């Protein structure tokens, strides 16, 4: 089955998003070179990955984690993007977080996030994006995710900036 692609993001939007990432990296790199480094979570994570460390952002790990979002009534969900009946893991008033972490809803939530579109397996940038956040790979069709809606923007960004990102990573490692 062919991967589903998102039609709600026209080419102009893809180019704008990709250029935005390039512009942000330009400013990030410039700030470092001027001796006033800034922190931008996504870029910090990319440099960490390039340095051989695991990213801290869940959408860059290749698998959803569990962040235990609790509602006022005690209902607990695995992620703030999935506060949905189908993903309710339990209620903190009647169940421990340790038990919720091991229940079928939490296992299913993490398992679903492992599936990537076929195109990801052929992508030279998979080690950097890991398919992205699963919410950006919806809708799922017959259990298979769509291509990440930002995939083309990320490719545009990595095509333009990856060599400079590698260089900046080396410079950051030398200063720490």
- Specify whether the CB–CB gap between 25 and 157 falls below 8 A: yes
Nearest to 50 by CA among 171, 158, 131, 165: 165
Q: Which residues are annotated as catalytic?
A: 80
- The C-alpha atoms of residue 126 and residue 22 are separated, in whole angstroms, by 18
């Amino acid at each position: 089955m062919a991967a589903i692609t998102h039609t709600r993001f026209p080419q102009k939007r893809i180019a704008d998003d990709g250029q935005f990432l390039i512009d942000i990296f330009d400013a990030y790199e410039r700030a470092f070179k001027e001796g006033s480094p800034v922190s931008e979570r996504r870029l910090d994570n990319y440099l960490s990955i390039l340095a051989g460390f695991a990213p801290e952002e869940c959408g860059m790990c290749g698998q959803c984690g569990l962040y235990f979002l609790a509602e006022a009534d005690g209902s607990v969900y695995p992620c703030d993007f999935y506060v949905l009946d189908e993903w309710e893991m339990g209620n903190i008033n009647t169940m421990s977080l340790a038990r919720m972490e091991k229940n079928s809803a939490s296992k299913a939530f993490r398992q679903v996030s492992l599936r990537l579109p076929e195109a990801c397996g052929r992508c030279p940038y998979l080690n950097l994006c890991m398919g992205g956040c699963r919410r950006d790979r919806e809708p799922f069709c017959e259990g298979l995710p769509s291509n990440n809606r930002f995939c083309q923007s990320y490719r545009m960004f990595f095509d333009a900036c990856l060599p400079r990102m590698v260089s900046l990573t080396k410079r950051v490692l030398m200063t720490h």
